[in-house]
């Protein structure tokens, strides 16, 4: 578990970068043979791309680095439970193990659909939930609290 916390710390750093850039603070890294081969953070706004989630970008970068879209044997660390889109990419990449921090009860592919346990699919992913979950949750909570406060200030100024 200590290794998981170490690698999740790197993903949390990526999430913090996203938050500083005004993106939802989610970070992801791909680890192969105990080496970080790719790291990314949400860039949906910056890239004007609804698919530019941290997981998708990290998987893309890892595929380029390895010269293969199959990432068999790799681990993916992500600060929040992946959405259904990202779950599909994780399955297609043949990720062996997914380690995530915070649950997402509004859009999580595990919480809402339990995608990775569906026996009808042609690939199984081992899932390790809740690694540094509190830290990941706090990043998200603080980001949205600050965003709401900023919106409230703007509304008050307009009313004056």
Report the alpha-carbon distance of residue 2 to residue 74 in Å, rounded.
Answer: 18
Distance CA 43, CA 33 (A): 27
List, by residue number, the catalytic residues. Answer: 55
Residue 85: burial class (beta carbons within 10 Å; 0-12, 13-18, 19+): middle
Burial of 132 (0-12, 13-18, 19+ CB in 10 A): buried
């Amino acid at each position: 578990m200590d290794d998981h916390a170490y690698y999740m710390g790197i993903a949390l750093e990526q999430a913090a970068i996203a938050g500083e850039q005004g993106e939802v603070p989610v970070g992801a890294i791909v680890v192969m043979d105990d080496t970080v081969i790719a790291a990314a953070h949400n860039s949906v706004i910056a890239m004007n791309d609804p698919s530019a989630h941290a997981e998708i970008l990290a998987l893309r970068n890892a595929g380029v680095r390895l010269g293969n879209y199959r990432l068999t044997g790799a681990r993916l660390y992500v600060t929040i439970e992946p959405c259904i889109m990202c779950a599909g990419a994780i399955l297609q990449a043949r990720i062996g193990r997914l380690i995530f921090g915070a649950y997402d009860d509004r859009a999580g592919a595990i919480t809402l659909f339990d995608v990775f346990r569906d026996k009808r699919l042609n690939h199984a992913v081992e899932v390790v939930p809740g690694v540094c979950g509190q830290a990941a949750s706090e990043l998200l909570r603080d980001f949205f609290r600050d965003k709401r406060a900023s919106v409230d200030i703007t509304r008050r100024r307009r009313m004056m």
